[in-house]
Copies of this chain bind each other. A is one copy, B any other.
Amino acid sequence: MTALYYEEFEVGRTIEHEKRRTVSESDNQRFCDMTMNQQPLHLDAEFAADSQFGERLVNGLYTMSLAVGLSVPDTTDGTIVANLSYDDVSHPNPVFHGDTLRAQTTVLDKRETSDGERGVVTMKVEAFNQDDDLVCEFERTALSLKREFAADADDA
């Protein structure tokens, strides 16, 4: 287990996530299929050629979801109760087929729940392409397990 229990999150720390992914045409198509999103800007090369971007855009929710996935091993893998919210999700630059994305997480805030048994952690997640252009950023707030009580559960 390499992810973090509540006690281990350090406010102000930035974690650069190791895994990256080159986003393919297939990724974009499958994501749109699975989410029943038939937006032509993502799927129709001829339509997209006439848009301001000149080619198909990768679905922004794929970029966001991939950024979370890349961050899980270092943040919440097996140590989370639930994601409480995502806020201020934006895509400052487009993602195209063939781009390689990486992500980093900065811990913004943490507080214990009123019963002291869990904790709420707010993180800023950022995704970048191979040219270091910021392609997605958002805040992620998670309800995290405390190691103390997780250990109790293991003993039960």
Contact = CB atoms under 8 A, between A and B. Distances in A.
Contacts of A90: 84-85
A77 B34 CA distance: 17
Q: How many copies does the complex hold?
A: 2
A98 interface: no
Given A31-B34, A34-B30, A36-B69, A83 B91 contact: yes
A57 B85 CA distance: 16
Given A27-B34, A30-B30, A87-B88, A47 B81 contact: no
Interface stretch (A4-12, A58-66, A105-113): A58-66
A39 B72 contact: yes
B88 A82 contact: no
Interface residues of A, number: 49
Secondary structure dominating the interface of A = mixed
A50 B32 CA distance: 33
Given A80-B41, A82-B91, A85-B90, A36 B52 contact: no
A69 B32 contact: yes
A61 B87 CA distance: 13
Contacts of A54: none
Contacts of A61: 61, 64-65, 68
A13 interface: no
A12 to B, nearest CB: 24
